[in-house]
Amino acid sequence: MRPFWIHHLAEYLIGVALIATGMQSPDPVVPSFAGVLVICNAAVVRGPVGAFRLVGRGLHRWLDVVVMVLLLGAAVQPWVEIDTTSRATMLLVLLPLGFLWFYTDWAERQGRTARRVERASDTSEAIGRSAGRIAGNLANSIKKRSEQ
């Protein structure tokens, strides 16, 4: 399983590649719109490089499937004229998107406090307690000497 940040960055790169392909074609609307759709999908997820962080990873997982189906539909639709290179690019982009989707670790990252609690052990708690006792004993002994 790949970390989610790889999936996230790759979606941005794929979206930029689709927009760049669209800008090079004589009819840029459909491939550019497809690229913007991929980038918007990447921007709304809560993740390391998410811009708006509106949806969780579980929902994003299924939004990815919707985006892939829309890309497939946009590539094979007969109504709007698209040049062959743009069609091929939109179809080829489905391969890395599908690969990323299949091999991504979709687990939500725990909050900072939950990670700290999980990392804490009896040993760290015991060390903290003994350090507190040592500091308290030292303060008491300094106080006793100053009173004499």
Same domain, 50 and 87: yes
> How many structural domains is the chain composed of?
2
pLDDT at 54 (0 to 100):
93
Q: How far is CA 66 from CA 73, 117, 133, in A?
A: 10, 37, 59
The answer to whether the beta carbons of residues 44 and 50 sit under 8 Å apart is yes
pLDDT at 112 (0 to 100):
66
User: How high is the mean pLDDT in each 10-residue block of the chain (148 residues)?
Assistant: 91 96 92 96 92 92 97 94 93 96 87 71 77 89 86
Same domain, 98 and 45: yes
Same domain, 37 and 75: yes
pLDDT at 26 (0 to 100):
92
Residue whose entry in the numeric block shows the structure tokens 């743009």:
86
Establish if 107 belongs to a structural domain: no
Same domain, 81 and 139: no
Range of the domain at 8: 4-102
Establish if 42 belongs to a structural domain: yes
Q: Sign of torsion, CA 139 140 145 148?
A: positive
Establish if 85 belongs to a structural domain: yes
pLDDT at 47 (0 to 100):
86
pLDDT at 74 (0 to 100):
95
Same domain, 36 and 89: yes
Same domain, 26 and 95: yes
Q: How far is CA 109 from the centre of its chain?
A: 10
Establish if 134 belongs to a structural domain: yes
pLDDT at 39 (0 to 100):
97
Establish if 74 belongs to a structural domain: yes
Reported pTM: 0.75
